[in-house]
Amino acid sequence: MSDSTFDAVVVGSGPNGLAAAITLQQAGLSVLLLEGKNELGGGLRTAALTLPGFHHDICSAIHPLAVASPFFQTLPLAQYGLEYLTPPVAAAHPFDNGTAATVVNSLAATALALGPDADAYQRLLAPLVADWPDIVNDVLAPLHFPSHPVKMARFGLSALLPATALIRRFQGEQAKGLFAGMAAHAIQPLSNLTTSAIGLVLLATAHRRGWPLPKGGSQQIADALVAHFKALGGRVETGSFIHSMAQLPPARAILLDVTPAQLLQIAGHRLSRIYQWQLQRYRYGMGVFKIDWALDAPIPFTAPECAEAGTLHLGNTGAEIVASEQATAHGQHPARPFVLLAQPSRFDATRAPAGRHTAWAYCHVPNGSRVDMTEAIERQVERFAPGFRERIIGRHTFDTAQIEQHNPNYVGGDINGGRLDITQLFTRPALRASPYRTSQAGLYLCSSATPPGGGVHGMCGYHAARRALRDVFRLPAAPLYSA
């Protein structure tokens, strides 16, 4: 590891660590980025997990928040080869009767297909879709007085509700199931407060810019961010897994893209007792069990609309999804779990050999579960795509321990960096004037354990870096983007 002196050191090269490093480097500082693995990217990784020539996204695959990110939009990532491909259907939700609800770019077309719930869907989403450019900066930020308080309040009135409350606004099973699947990205019981928020945000992004995937795999996002950081003069070192502060070179500011569990290990002895106590009480959410498949043909979904979708939500009715998420939160492994599935090779020919395909899927499981959910997940896919299993020519699985081994931030398989319920939504990771400051001067947290939470948007790192610029370097940290 370098023994040079830097203005700032960032530990962790996930999207938040990269965003923090770029923000600091843009301010004219000298920045060192350290990554414990030999490969950069954190959750933005692509690898040949099954068979040669099949490229699978190890963690995230579909990226609506990456193209919605106010910070990423300011970066010239296309010049480093990053290209997004946007499926015509953002998400499809098949049902047992062979039909499917779909979300397309057109709000009106999506609503019209929901039949009796067309008006209710329009009333719920139209104001948010129209307001989104004005409120995205506030939604993807720590708690503060918003730039557009009336529009933000309008969003908040629905976002703070349990998803089950919004599901009840619909009459038909298609709209109920569709919204339940969106809200299930919150990875918690849908009866919890604020679970509507993620469903609303995902639908708004779908109607604004779709749900894209990066050509060649999610690694392309990380590679473009790293290339831009280096072009600004930043320095990167891999294979530098940090276990304690003593391993770090001298720097005026340290930013850690880790969650509270790792922060306590790395810097616990330097933190105040009350801050340590708060970190020890931090709660992680449900984990995931993930499968990647190599296929000899596309998944044969019964509903033809599914062939046009990059993302599939497999859970049938809203009631079934609500029950599945509730059972999982209580330590059970449902026989019919809610499954999120992506099929990138339908839209990106670089992912598999000619005529072949890739797909990935995961279901939620209790945190730390070692139960093999392969059978349950594949049964759910087969339910909506008879003959699916005949297409499988390769398979790779991750249980929660293996996911955490790949990325220590995924504690117990929790890909959100901590539970995103009402008790931690505004206080991640602790109740402080700034969620990014630790109790140690010059030491900051920039991971998804800080606001606005999980997702590939880099905003946790961006806001943490801005905090360090003000505190440590006394540099102006006006927003680097405009609404």
Cα-Cα-Cα-Cα dihedral of 26, 477, 274, 258, to 10°? -30
Segment 33-59, tens digit of pLDDT? 999 999 999 999 999 999 999 999 999
Please give the pLDDT value at position 479.
62
Q: Phi first, then psi: what are they for 84, rounded to 5°? A: -95, 140
99 versus 431: the higher-pLDDT residue is 99
Residue 6 DSSP symbol: E
Selection from 367, 74, 459, 417 nearest residue 263 by Cα: 417
Element (H, E) at 358: strand 357-365
Please give the pLDDT value at position 481.
47
Pairing of β 235-237 and β 392-398: unpaired
Tokens at 170, concatenated = 């619909």
Segment 304-330, tens digit of pLDDT? 999 999 999 999 999 999 999 999 999
Segment 278-301, tens digit of pLDDT? 999 999 999 999 999 999 999 999
In angstroms, the CA 379 to CA 359 distance is 15
Contact criterion met (CB below 8 Å) for 446 and 460 = yes
**pLDDT for 483 beyond 80:** no
Tokens at 101, concatenated = 């609800």
110-114, 198-202, 443-447, 478-482: range with lowest mean pLDDT:
478-482
Tokens at 216, concatenated = 């060649």
In angstroms, the CA 192 to CA 419 distance is 11
Q: Phi first, then psi: what are they for 289, rounded to 5°? A: -115, 125
Please give the pLDDT value at position 254.
98
Segment 167-189, tens digit of pLDDT? 999 999 999 999 999 999 999 99
| 26-31 average pLDDT score | 97
Domains defined along the chain, listed by start: 6-82+214-282+415-471 (3.50.50.60), 86-212+285-406 (3.90.660)
Cβ neighbours around 89 below 10 Å, total: 23
Axis crossing angle, helix 195-209 with helix 173-183, rounded to the nearest 10: 100
- Residue 482: pLDDT band with limits 50, 70, 90: very low
